[in-house]
Copies of this chain bind each other. A is one copy, B any other.
């Protein structure tokens, strides 16, 4: 299985089983892994590592690693290790429920980091030692170049920094993927920076493989399994309405000349609402679309196939199980239209800004003045993490945040007097959309933004309460540019925690 994928004799000699590879990893080590969504996450070695931790704990020995990845990974990595109490520190993002519980309980340290900053900060020593790298490969070339699978993450940084390298060669992926990746492997400054002369989403600046000193490779493990991709819910009516408001806005902006046609490169977040927006673009009036984005989902691939979208630059695929099969079958077609990049390039503010991207991300809640919480429920419990949303929202030409106006059957309003946590400051939120409507916040003062958000985005059940708060804050003695009543500002959240609803009793 897969041995014919290893064309470097030096590395073919390192083939071993996953248990032997996992033995290279000791308690306390810093582990730099692939994985940006389940794409590219190690599989066999991570399962063996979890078993190693379980065995150590059964003997009363400590065993936990500091885990660094691209972004979220899979149940085989974050899930297995978390359930076995084998992660002491997690950087830079998590989407796994088991690990989330450990983090929110204060049992695992979590450093929620802008995804574009991980490699430069790791290279600068800001995170401590990276002892072992584990990367997934589709194949290894004769010259030792490693062809990645469906994401790259920070793997070049891990390969450069780690003393020990483990490669999983996964025979599941179509080897025709070779050529889709674009990786800068040399000329990287000690602070992790390098030139990025990307002026179109399809521009290439590196080579199609990861580079590693073969002497550092201590184990090559063969696998043959698809990524454990998460399911997305079907698109609901609310998400369709959000997408509809957004399409209307884009049409209007192109008509009045504030956006060009074809549209600038799109970035789209992940999830139900993002899926609905991509579906609306698929059925919509815009042609010759391009995307400079992070995660490539089914909707963008459908547009590449239909010809609506011409090219996509991204960090990772995150597709349905059916779509994963189609990706493998269509690899030659997709390779001509997709550039997969390391996340310090896919998310780099330089490129996002130069291309003038439109960033579309989802939020947990927003406040009347336009500040957005996209990570922490009731200010305290982390959901996933900021991921790449901060890279895109600030650098984009136009940053849009979206959510249903209420959650949990109406007991939570997504529009609140003051957000309980801020990930995106109002300066990074030009447009806000809920199923109720769209608020164009450009050029508005804080008090004007508040009225636009309340009238256009808030659910009618919460509108009078929000307007009441605003008016009382405006007429309060202290006043201000962003008037608040500090003894009430977080009262809605507190009420929810006490009574189960933000609505007064």
Contact = CB atoms under 8 A, between A and B. Distances in A.
A395 B112 CA distance: 17
Contacts of A380: 473, 478-484
Nearest to A199: B195
Contact of A379 (B350, B427, B486): B486
A427 B350 contact: no
B445 A111 contact: yes
Most buried by B among A189, A256, A381: A381
Contact of A482 (B379, B445, B479, B480): B379
Contacts of A494: 486-487
A442 B122 CA distance: 11
For chain A, the bracket of interface size reads 35 or more
Interface stretch (A9-17, A72-80, A113-121, A310-318): A113-121
A23 B329 CA distance: 70
A497 interface: yes
A190 B112 CA distance: 35
Nearest to A395: B349
A191 interface: yes
B480 A376 contact: yes
A177 to B, nearest CB: 30
Contacts of A57: none
Nearest to A350: B350
Nearest to A421: B482
B109 A444 contact: yes
Given A109-B444, A258-B126, A353-B193, A425 B390 contact: yes
* A-B CB proximity, top 7 nearest: A380-B480, A109-B445, A422-B422, A382-B481, A350-B350, A191-B356, A381-B480
Given A379-B482, A379-B489, 10 more contacts: A89-B445, A117-B427, A124-B258, A350-B354, A378-B486, A381-B480, A381-B481, A390-B425, A394-B394, A487-B491
Interface of A: 89, 91, 103-106, 109-114, 117, 120-121, 124-128, 189-191, 193, 195, 256-258, 260, 264, 348-350, 353-356, 371, 376-382, 386, 390, 394-395, 397, 418, 420-423, 425, 427, 430, 442-448, 473-474, 478-484, 486-487, 489-491, 493-494, 497
